[in-house]
Amino acid sequence: MKTSRDLIAYNDLKKMIIEPGFCNLCGACEAACPVHALKIEDRSLKYTHDCTNFMEFCPICYDICPFTEALLLETLGFVSGAPNRTESIGYYRKIILAQAVDERMREISHSGGVITALLMHAIKTGFIDGAITSESEKETPIRIKPLLSLVPDDLLSAVDYEYFPSSVAKAFGRAVHEYGKTKIAFVGTPCHVRAIRKLEAWEHKIMNSLKIVIGLICLWSFSFPKLTKYLKEAYNIDASDILRIDLDKKYDVSMKDGRIISISIPEIEAHTLSVCKMCEDFTSELADISVGGAHPLKDWSIVIIRTEVGEEIFEDAVKANVIRTRKIEERPDVYAHFVEMGLLKKRYAAEEIERRKRCGEPVPPVYIRMLELLPREISLLSSLRAEHIMTREIIAVRPEYTVEDVLTLMTKHHHMGYPVLNERDELVGIVTFDDVSKVPASKRKETLVKDIAHKRLVTAYPNESAMAVYEKMSEHKIGRILVVDRRNPKKLLGIITKTDIMHVLRWPMRR
């Protein structure tokens, strides 16, 4: 990571993001640039005129790019007011299943239709006066372009999946500058959400018009030329014949003539955008509300509400009988699949970053940011002890619990790892989602926790520094560490997760 920065941010942006091919054309830089020097045209980012003619110094475009390290912790501040946090889904208020009451919307969106229903209701009640989503292009439906909806019916052409890049952040800039909208809802993938949040953290003027951010749940975006070339060669299908792509356990490519071709995830992985392979954010962790499909349930969506404004708009829609909800606890299988996909994405990302580092290939600065702490953060962590940051309320499982019980617990509390305590409250192991997901669904009732739990534990002591804990976590590549009594290593005192550490790093800049 570079420590000293160029006076004109574009030089850095070009070197770190554009030249290695990490740009996903979100258009946030175009929306932010005060002199309109950057433009997204014909699916590439163009530098239309030399911005040094107008400015001596400007950090904007580098700061707000979703793939740079700047402002990353500040963006967490928009969601960190939420009461709960877990490693797999970030900060949240609650998780529920939801669907649109109107059948027409569910049919159009092929899943819950929650976003369409929510935004249409919000426009009708005047909560927002415009929404930015994406819609299909006419000739090739899987290719998408941004859509600005001003009246509720505009939203019916919006799509709820974004498997290809769409310049939605650019559209946000246009909505403010050209349409003069002041209460805008924004819908985008995790990286788009990050771009918008960075603009907000930067206190950019156009962000006064942002009302709510809805994040999509996203595994990867594809590179259009790469994927279409592959589909042409392997399956002999033209891009223009594809109607849509759905993701459950496999990618289902639906054709205009009704055929459906299933492609497995490892097979399709090579054709994603290079930057997506390193992305860890599955659930749009910075959005006000995150929405995604609830496989294997058809017609339902998983909704994660993270902020107060998100809760307000959602509750309003539920009250107006536009959306109906269901408890997630009713369907542990939906939740298990959901988390499995999230962890899959995180695992792919960790492997890819590792591989790139080994081969000396460039990695976007945003993904290095959390691996290498700043000196200020190191000194902060060194000054704290494990007992200051650990969670004391521990939910533990007994060795006799079945895997099914653990899964129910996970769906209820959303934590991904549980310490195993025996009847004398002695620590005997830890069971994580990874262990549970390895057990096939048919055997979940018979398998006991003591058969799958890890017995060799990485532990910390309460008076160790937080920095030492962090180093232990990075060294063993684990997401959580158990804090035990120094005199009696069987006595469990608390638990520290990576999310706890991120939360601590945000402390000094809390508003």
Interacting residues with another protein (CB under 8 A) = 7, 32, 34-35, 54-60, 202-205, 208
Q: What is the 3-state secondary structure (H, E, C) of 271-330?
A: HECCCHHHCCCCCCCCCCEEEEECCCCCCCEEEEECCHHHHHHHHHHHHCCCEEEEEHHH
- Which of 223, 364, 338 lies closest to 283, judged by CA? 338
Q: Return the number of the residue (63 or 129) whose C-beta is nearest another protein.
A: 63
Q: Return the number of the residue (54 or 235) whose C-beta is nearest another protein.
A: 54
Residue 34 CB, nearest distance to another protein (Å)?
4
Residue 57 CB, nearest distance to another protein (Å)?
4
Q: Residue 490 is encoded by which pair of tokens?
A: 């069987």
Residue 35 CB, nearest distance to another protein (Å)?
7
Using the Cα atoms of residue 437, residue 443, residue 445 and residue 446 in order, give the sign of their dihedral: negative
Q: Return the number of the residue (60 or 439) whose C-beta is nearest another protein.
A: 60
Pairing of the two strands 480-484 and 492-497: antiparallel
Q: Return the number of the residue (208 or 382) whose C-beta is nearest another protein.
A: 208
Q: Return the number of the residue (95 or 175) whose C-beta is nearest another protein.
A: 175
Q: Return the number of the residue (53 or 236) whose C-beta is nearest another protein.
A: 53
Q: Return the number of the residue (139 or 203) whose C-beta is nearest another protein.
A: 203
439-445 contacts, C-beta under 8 A, 24 or more apart = 439/403, 441/333, 443/403, 444/402, 444/403, 444/404, 444/407, 445/402, 445/403, 445/404
Q: Return the number of the residue (10 or 161) whose C-beta is nearest another protein.
A: 10
Q: What is the 3-state secondary structure (H, E, C) of 362-375?
A: CCCHHHHHCCCCCH
In three-state secondary structure terms, 454 is strand
Backbone angles phi, psi at 273, to 5 degrees: -65, 140
CA 329 to chain centre: 22
Residue 56 CB, nearest distance to another protein (Å)?
5
Q: Residue 88 is encoded by which pair of tokens?
A: 């797999």
Residue 50 CB, nearest distance to another protein (Å)?
14
How many Cα neighbours within 13 Å face the side chain of 80? 19
Round to whole Å and give the CA distance between 290 and 303: 6
Q: Return the number of the residue (55 or 373) whose C-beta is nearest another protein.
A: 55
Residue 453 CB, nearest distance to another protein (Å)?
52
- Which of 109, 232, 205 lies closest to 159, judged by CA? 109
Residue 442 CB, nearest distance to another protein (Å)?
58
Contact 127, 342 (CB under 8 A): no
Position of tokens 């009461």? Answer: 83
Position of tokens 């049919």? Answer: 107
Residue 76 CB, nearest distance to another protein (Å)?
21
